[in-house]
Amino acid sequence: MKSEKTIVLPTPITDSRLTPIKFHHRDKRYRKYFVCQCSCGKTIICHGASIVSGNTKSCGCLAKESRANSRLPNNKGVITQIILGIKRARKIEIYHMI
């Protein structure tokens, strides 16, 4: 077993929800993975560089929340229904033409 040198924990970007706790492992490409604590309470294992770059800002809860806050939260289903209705109507038209 090779002894690991002391690995410095990555510094997350300011709006990150993750706090690196400890080094977890290195993958085949020698990329470092860290155990991170998300502000929601979840613990995830995350690639060090993506914590620093801001590619990974949360355990996934941030993406869920921003999706929930997107512009058409309630209308989306309605719009889908309308589009499906139009498509269905077209199919019927084509059916009658044949």
Give contact residues for Zn ion (rule: CB under 5 A).
38, 40, 42, 58-59, 61
The distance of closest approach from Cβ of residue 10 to Zn ion in the complex, given in angstroms and rounded to an integer, is 17
> Chain-centre distance of CA 64, in angstroms?
8
CA distance 8 to 29: 18
The distance of closest approach from Cβ of residue 61 to Zn ion in the complex, given in angstroms and rounded to an integer, is 3
Q: Are 48 and 32 in contact (CB under 8 A)?
A: yes
The distance of closest approach from Cβ of residue 45 to Zn ion in the complex, given in angstroms and rounded to an integer, is 13
In the bound state with Zn ion, the residue whose beta carbon lies nearer, of 56 and 58, is 58
CA distance 54 to 51: 5
Q: In what order do the strands lie in the sheet with 43-47?
A: 18-26, 32-38, 43-47
In the bound state with Zn ion, the residue whose beta carbon lies nearer, of 45 and 78, is 45
In the bound state with Zn ion, the residue whose beta carbon lies nearer, of 48 and 56, is 56
